Amino acid sequence: MELMIAVALGILTSCGVFLILRARTFSVVLGLTLLSHAVNLFLFSMGRLTSGAPAIVGLTPSSADPLPQALVLTAIVISFAMTAFVVVLSLKAAVELRSDHVDGENPNEDRP
């Protein structure tokens, strides 16, 4: 199980990294979302993988680690806010620069 989760995290990270290196803002937003999934899962898995034992007192004799969960919960909300911000930023850039290239211009055109 651990090996599989590790591999999945690796794949998520690879996909995210590859996408944020692309030239168009939308791909970068996709990549950032994948990357934040990977990061959240990574943080979460640092509390080890336990199934069927939520961190609620008195429910099960032993339970999952609540601390990474609390950290990841806020991380999810914040990464949502950041995604929204980046989306608006890319919209604004696309409108004002008339291009959705991350460098604000089409690299195939001649640069001064």
- Least CB distance to other proteins at residue 39 (A): 9
- Least CB distance to other proteins at residue 110 (A): 14
Exposed/middle/buried for residue 90 (C-beta within 10 Å: 0-12, 13-18, 19+) = middle
Nearer to other proteins, 95 or 110 (CB): 95
- Least CB distance to other proteins at residue 109 (A): 12
33: left (phi over 0), alpha (psi -120 to 50) or beta: alpha
Nearer to other proteins, 108 or 110 (CB): 108
* Among 41, 44, 43, 34, CA closest to 14: 34
